[in-house]
């Protein structure tokens, strides 16, 4: 079946460090892939997405590339800020399915030290 596995947290980094949060998936065909972020006291919000292999999603300095060969969608940022402290969720949508079929990972909590 379809599933998403992301690295366990918490991840703690110093400001301006390089960030990678790993996400791998299992799915039939070519799912759409997403990263959602939940800032403290707020709901989840879409950070970026990619809908086909080799696509790169980007937003707010974050990037993730859809890698079919490694079934991965790792989230990266070159220089993190304290304001990036949040919980990050990787998610996939099976091909041709509706939003009701989105599968979410367990979330990775990121804390950035000043």
Partner 1 sequence: NAGVTQTPKFRILKIGQSMTLQCTQDMNHNYMYWYRQDPGMGLKLIYYSVGAGITDKGEVPNGYNVSRSTTEDFPLRLELAAPSQTSVYFCASSTTGDPGNTIYFGEGSWLTVV
Contact positions vs partner 1 (CB under 8 A):
4, 8, 32, 34, 36, 38, 41-46, 49, 51, 89, 91, 93, 97-107
Distance (Å, whole) CA 79 – CA 15: 7
Residue closer to partner 1, measured from CB, 13 or 102: 102
Residue closer to partner 1, measured from CB, 3 or 79: 3
Residue closer to partner 1, measured from CB, 17 or 46: 46
Two structure tokens written together for 48: 């970026």
68 burial class (0-12, 13-18, 19+ CB within 10 angstroms)? exposed
Residue closer to partner 1, measured from CB, 99 or 114: 99
Total residue length of the chain: 114
CB of 14 to partner 1, least distance (A): 26
CB of 79 to partner 1, least distance (A): 26
Provide the strand spans (E) within the chain: 3-6, 11-14, 19-21, 23-26, 32-38, 45-50, 56-59, 62-65, 75-77, 86-93, 103-104, 108-113
CB of 15 to partner 1, least distance (A): 26
């Amino acid at each position: 079946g379809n599933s998403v596995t992301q690295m366990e947290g918490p991840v703690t980094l110093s400001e301006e460090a390089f960030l990678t949060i790993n996400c791998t998936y299992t799915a039939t065909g070519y799912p759409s892939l997403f990263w959602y972020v939940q800032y403290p006291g707020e709901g989840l919000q879409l950070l970026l997405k990619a809908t086909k292999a080799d696509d790169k999603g980007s937003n707010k300095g974050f990037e993730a590339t859809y890698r079919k060969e490694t079934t991965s969608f790792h989230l990266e940022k070159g220089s993190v800020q304290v304001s990036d402290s949040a919980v990050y969720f990787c998610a996939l949508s099976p091909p041709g399915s509706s939003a009701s079929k989105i599968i979410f990972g367990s979330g990775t909590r990121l804390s950035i030290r000043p």
